[in-house]
Structure 1
Amino acid sequence: MKKVLIINSSARITNSQSRAMTALFQENWQRLYPTDHFIFRDLGINPIPHIDDAWIKASFTKVSDRNAENQAPLALSNKLVRELKEADIIVFGLPMYNWGVPSGVKSYMDQIMRINETWKFESGEPDGNYVGLLSGKKAYILSARGDNGYGCGERNEHMNFQSKYVETIFRIIGIGEIETISLDSEEYGGELFQKGKERITAMIKAIK
């Protein structure tokens, strides 16, 4: 039995394309693997707080100096990191807001980027070589975007601070197997968008 962590991040509760994509993934996965266990994290409905001075001090406290009091600010971060460590499959529903990620996603990433917990420097000292500590997992990034042309080699690739950002973070923490599926052209609507939805639906249903 595998554990599947589904993370939604859209501020929309209804009419969210990224939420529809994660729901379709869940439906398809449950059909294929009915004994697998799902864990849910919703960054849109339950926002993750920004890190602050107390968090930073706690995070960089030497292991030998840690106690219950000075580690209290990391309680939520510890829970989020534990969810990632326990998950075999990570599914991230990700809308594009102003060419980037929702602000709650940035807060989430700050909370899980924990040195010597999810990543480390190769030499043990700042050396620019990052080693991920969360290996053996696969991630699916299910992105939704109003416009199009943000893919590799496309005209707006340089403006994609959405899926590329999450892909980069995941690779740094050791998740090397990543599949990104993007539904574009929501703002256009009509036949263009419908054809995109049909293509994306078929891609998600083909995941095994």
Structure 2
Amino acid sequence: METIVFDIGETLIRDDRYWASWANWLGVPPHTLSALVGAAVVQGRDDADALSILRPDIDVNEASLARAAAGRGEHLDESDLYQDVRPALAELRTLGVRVVVAGNGTVRAGELLRALDLPADLVVTSDEWGVAKPDPEFFARVLEVSGATPQETLYVGDHPANDLFPAKSSGLTAAHIRRGAFGHWWADHPDVVDTADFRINALTELPALLNKSPTPPRPRALRAL
């Protein structure tokens, strides 16, 4: 692999703070919102649907703006990173791999991520690109910044529907990481097993995979999660 591109939420960044802050804003115990996020994941729904279960009339965009105006907007610091992020990304760059961070997120999230000074060649979010996963255009942009062929570009993410399936449909090599609610719950789903070129439990497994050729793709019909 010449380039490895990483998803953000629950691949590099823990979502604990994100959901706890929403629970605090909505005035519910964090475990209540966490349980509803888990239920949405199990049902194959967007995890943000948990917010509308709690508040059926919520406009998430408006609520996000209100939180920011109240000084309770997005925040990221070193404690939000999974512990294997810095060592894994640093080792990959030492090995000569181009490291890109590209996932769904706001412009503010992009600023916060870059402020962490990760060992990466590029850090960018979907709002900065103007297109979000799983739109194929997002993965076209990934290939634009990759500097490598689709086969030599590995996309790493936890979410089958947002990361794995569209990355493979766009011709990229793809790794599914068993991390976060989506990553754990769907890790052994037949479509995930059949589609992923690599299945990993930690980012530190990636350097050892660099010289391994993925299994040639098999004909398949991906079922919706």
Bin for the TM-score computed over the shorter chain: 0.3 to 0.5
Q: TM-score w.r.t. structure 2 length?
A: 0.32
Greater fraction helix: 2
TM-score with structure 1 setting the length: 0.34
Structure 1 or 2, whichever has the larger Rg, is 1
